[in-house]
Structures are given as structure tokens and as C-alpha cells.
Amino acid sequence: MLPIKKSLVVSSLILLAALSTQLYANQLQENKGFNEKSQAQEGTLKGVMQGLLKNTQGLTAALLTEDFANLEKFAKKIADHPKVGMATRMKLMQAMGTEMAKFKANDDVVHNAAVNMIKNAQQKDIKALGENFQVMIGGCIACHGEFKAKVSAILK
């Protein structure tokens, strides 16, 4: 990995970790946990992304505190995240054409890393969890870097 890219990923992870740890601590203190009802309307891309953000924040906090039960819980939520509604999917497929395969491939990277993290959490393998977390975040960053502006313009 290039030094600049590696430092960007590390910096992003540190920032995400700091923010999510504080959020996780606040939620635990209030004894509310992560309430999925606060997610935006299910089926919208924005709603799906907001849900993934909350679950990634929970996953990050659980990783940093070696909370294997919550690692498994949040990894499952990420792996099984809701799909975008059919109308939105059709609009994206029509506008993106052949690029849709690469867009889907990024989702597969995130999904597969989350599935691996479920197994890692069950085995209490913190090293493998960290490695798969990096793969997952890399998939998120790659997708956002390549598609966020395009997809936002399509869905405006």
C-alpha cells in the first residue's frame, strides 16, 4: 500500500474510532444501545448508508474494547444490511450501466469482510477481526471515492 494511502486509511480509522468510542460510551451510559428505529427510512440509499454508519461505529467501539458479543452483533447487521428499494436500484443500474458491476463488487467486499468478522468474533480472534475490519473499511472508502458523487447526482 502506498505510504500516503496507508496514512489516510490509518488516520480515517483513528478518527472513526475516536468518534465511535465516544458514541458507544454515551449509548451504553444511557442504557439505550443502538436503536435502529433512528435510521432513515429503510429502502432509501441514504437510510441504508446511515444504518451502515451506525453499525460501523458500534463495530469500531466493540473492536477497540474487545467486546466480542457486540463485534458479532454489529458484523451481522453490516453483513445483512437492508437493500436499497427496487426503484432506486433500477435507476442506478440504468444510469451506471457496466459500472454497476464494480459498484456491486465494493458491496461484496464489505459483505464478505463482515461475514468473516462474525466468524472471527465467535473465535475471539482479535487479530483477524482487525484485518477484516481494514478490508471492510477499505471497501467503503473505495466505493465512496469512486461512486459517491456519481450516485448522488443520479439520485438527485
> How much is the average pLDDT of 96-125?
96
Q: What confidence tens digit (pLDDT) does each residue in 9-68 have?
A: 665 656 555 555 555 555 554 444 444 443 344 478 999 999 999 999 999 999 999 999
The predicted structure's pLDDT at residue 41: 46
Cell triple for residue 149?
A: 458523487
The upper half-sphere exposure of residue 144, i.e. CA atoms within 13 Å in the direction of its Cβ, equals 10
Residue from 107, 103, 130, 108 nearest 117 by CA? 130
Asked if residues 132 and 120 have their Cβ atoms less than 8 Å apart, the reply is yes
**3-155 in CATH: which number?**
1.20.120.10
- How far CA 56 is from CA of 19, 28, 99, 154, in Å, comes to 11, 16, 26, 26
C-alpha span between 4 and 102 (Å, rounded)? 24
pLDDT at 43: 74
